[in-house]
Structure 1
Amino acid sequence: MLRIYAILTGQSAGVISSVFRIILMPLSWVYGLAMMARNYFYDRKILTSLNLDCGVISVGNIVAGGTGKTPIVIWLAKHFRNSGYRVAIILRGYKRKAKSETGIVSDGTKTLLSPEESGDEAFMIALELPEIPVLVSKNRYKAGIEAIRKWKTQVIILDDGFQHQQLKRDLDIVVIDSTRPFGNGQMLPAGILREPKRSLQRVDLLLLTHTNSISNLSQIRSKIETIAGQKTIFESQYHPTKLYKLGDPQDLSLESLKNQRILLVCGIGNPRTFVHTVEGYQPSHLELMAFSDHYQYRRKDILRIQRRASIMKADIIVTTQKDEQKLRLYADQLLILVLAIEVRFLPEHGRSIKDMLNLYARTCLPL
């Protein structure tokens, strides 16, 4: 899995990587043409976007896999809630076991669906934001109508909404992982681009994540500015906030990671950022077991994890909040710790983005 990821993100060179990409290039051309045609139809109003009677903010990306959208969604929701607005979050609910077209994961007072019925990210957000309604649906417009009807929602935040042009938004935010902005530069499936890079020209705001993980940030910014034009770009980093045992919310010291032999287990889009985060606590030895994004763990995977931990003589097994609920079923078989993170902006960027959001709220949101 990591080998394929390295090829698609441009981190792996050599003959095998080149052959792999060449084989997939015809499919990428077909996919790219389809995306360009779709964007053209929306740009020319041949296809029209539907309007909701509230503010709509999309947080999305231009590549497949993790860029760090979900912590940004949580940060935005907290900002608007703390500013006195009624907020709802809508996700597609990737890989959820749907019983209905629209699912209410949380009504802002309690969680109503299981992790399997919600999807991992939606359930995680519902736990993190218990006072904010969270919905899942492939039809974001219908879900938005439901949110307005039930809670008189003033602002809806779309998680992974950049490609969902069926719903009109007032603010289009794209999140870019600064450690691999465009992968190898190719469209899916030969690369990780979900649409052409020039699509960034239609965004309102760009957020760079993991900026503390690279040394050539100014070059990355310059490259993005060349493609996107004069867009506002903010920089952010992810920092651990707490560490706790799976199934036990009591906090442990983050310093307990220091000088330990650690096995990392995750099914996220960009596992290397997880590695970089834990490396900051100076473990004596670190190994990674990376599964595919949104992976549903099974009994045989738990046995593999146990064997790997035994072979490397691991002191601690650590996973992410995204993986937490899918591993919870095996909490009695596996001693595992969960590392929680949050997004933080540089001080001057944090003030600027809050000023911009407050201006948006005054001019665009219903009272």
Structure 2
Amino acid sequence: MFFRKFYIDLVEGRKRGSFIIFIKLFLFLLSLLYRVVVSLRNYLYDKGFLKSRKFNIRVISVGNITWGGTGKTSLVIKLAKSLPDFKIAILLRGYGQDEVDLIKNSLRGDSCKVFASKNRLKILTSLSSDYDLAIFDDGFQYRRVKKDLEIVLVNGKEGLKRRFLLPLGKLREPINSLKRADVVIIMHSLNRELGSFLKKINPKLRIFQGRYIPQNLRDLRGKIYSPRDFLNKEIACFSAIGWPEGFLNSLKELGLLPKLKFIYPDHYQLKEEEFRKIEEKCLSSAITDLIITEKDKLRFKFPTQLSLFILEAELQINPEEEFLNLVRNVSVFKNLK
């Protein structure tokens, strides 16, 4: 965990010193090499030397151009729920078991099935004609399949300008790759400057705003609590998601200010001895309520003296009806490619 946190702090500019400059120089050289490889790959696809396979089933991709914390999984769930009359296959990359379990738990029923595999082309090929739609979670970089709608989420708080590619920065590919996107959702902030910047890259982009609206809190048995129930209590919070600032901002919006904050890297698998230290710190501070995210609840499989509460938040897209109509009429967008 130490090295992972060190790397994230370095990329996000929280590390200083002469040794850090040396590390950044090395990462800069790797970033240049990575840019060459990714740009060459995109060029080969753009010019047709590498082929994107077209399927009869309609395909929507939900992805991003940076790593961490844009809300892809929440949007996939929202899309599936907004299309109750469709039989949907959701395809994930095969890593990050928390996303797989979260989607499965959120979309129970026969109309939607979740597949997790590194070879999503093989899964898509094997799907029966009974399916109406395939949704790719984290699909923007997956170019082996031709999509009918490319949706990209961008963190409006962080923006995209002056961003380096991996491993020095957060960009997974050059910003001009957004030329192949149909829709960009700017998350967490009403960033009009970013919207104008994106339009210069791709004038055909349809741009929407997205944010999480915090609602209530729910215990692990499913009982709902009002945020007011916690206003006069000492609380702690835990997060192991890509952009924990969004979670903390949601708590603040509800008037909840945790006395203790336990922030871990995205996808972090909490060990029992680590949880016991969290539990001990809470109890020694007379705190018995620990607030977590929906995605993090699967990490807590240990008996505890703490009461765990999940923050419920609704993903809102603005203008929502226009966005959902666009998705429902996804077949129209075949002509845009």
TM-score normalised by L of structure 2: 0.89
Q: Is the 8 A contact 1:257 1:281 kept in 2?
A: no
Q: CA deviation at 1:232?
A: 0.8
Which one of 135, 140, 144 corresponds to residue 120 of structure 2? 140
Q: Is the 8 A contact 1:184 1:192 kept in 2?
A: no
- The residue number in structure 1 matching 2:76 is 73
Q: What is the CA–CA distance in structure 2 between the aligned matches of 1:229 and 1:332, rounded to whole Å? A: 53
- The residue number in structure 2 matching 1:314 is 287
Q: Is the 8 A contact 2:151 2:182 kept in 1?
A: yes
> Are 2:253 and 1:280 aligned?
yes
- The residue number in structure 1 matching 2:321 is 351
> Are 2:313 and 1:341 aligned?
yes
- Aligned residue for 1:148, secondary structure, equals coil
Query: Deviation per CA, 1:326-351, whole angstroms, max 9, x where unpaired?
Result: 21x114454321112221123xx112
Query: Deviation per CA, 1:293-338, whole angstroms, max 9, x where unpaired?
Result: 11111111112211332454435211111111121x1144543211
Query: Deviation per CA, 1:43-76, whole angstroms, max 9, x where unpaired?
Result: 1111111222200000000011121111111111
Which one of 53, 58, 67 corresponds to residue 56 of structure 2? 53
Q: Is the 8 A contact 2:288 2:307 kept in 1?
A: no
- The 3 A distance-change label for structure 1 pair 353 and 311 is same
Q: What is the CA–CA distance in structure 2 between the aligned matches of 1:36 and 1:169, rounded to whole Å? A: 20
RMSD: 2.4
Q: CA deviation at 1:258?
A: 2.4
- The residue number in structure 2 matching 1:102 is none
Gaps of 5+ in 2: none
Q: What is the CA–CA distance in structure 2 between the aligned matches of 1:228 and 1:257, rounded to whole Å? A: 46
Q: CA deviation at 1:183?
A: 8.1
- The 3 A distance-change label for structure 1 pair 320 and 284 is closer
Q: What is the CA–CA distance in structure 1 between the aligned matches of 2:6 and 2:251, rounded to whole Å? A: 21
Q: Is the 8 A contact 1:9 1:180 kept in 2?
A: no
- The residue number in structure 2 matching 1:206 is 184
Q: What is the CA–CA distance in structure 1 between the aligned matches of 2:64 and 2:141, rounded to whole Å? A: 8
Corresponding letter in the other structure for 1:148: S
Gaps of 5+ in 1: 96-118
- Sequence identity of aligned pairs in percent? 29
Query: Deviation per CA, 1:257-291, whole angstroms, max 9, x where unpaired?
Result: 32433322111111111111111121254432111
Q: Is the 8 A contact 1:206 1:232 kept in 2?
A: yes
Q: Is the 8 A contact 2:89 2:113 kept in 1?
A: yes
Query: Deviation per CA, 1:10-39, whole angstroms, max 9, x where unpaired?
Result: 5x3744665542231111111111111111
Q: What is the CA–CA distance in structure 1 between the aligned matches of 2:296 and 2:184, rounded to whole Å? A: 27
Q: What is the CA–CA distance in structure 2 between the aligned matches of 1:259 and 1:211, rounded to whole Å? A: 29
Number of positions where the alignment pairs a residue of Structure 1 with one of Structure 2: 329
Q: Is the 8 A contact 1:90 1:136 kept in 2?
A: yes
Corresponding letter in the other structure for 1:337: F
> Are 2:163 and 1:185 aligned?
yes
- The residue number in structure 1 matching 2:222 is 249
Corresponding letter in the other structure for 1:29: L
1:69-218 superposed matches below 5 A: 69-81=72-84, 84-95=85-96, 119-131=97-109, 132-148=112-128, 152-182=130-160, 185-211=163-189, 217-218=191-192
- The residue number in structure 2 matching 1:360 is 330
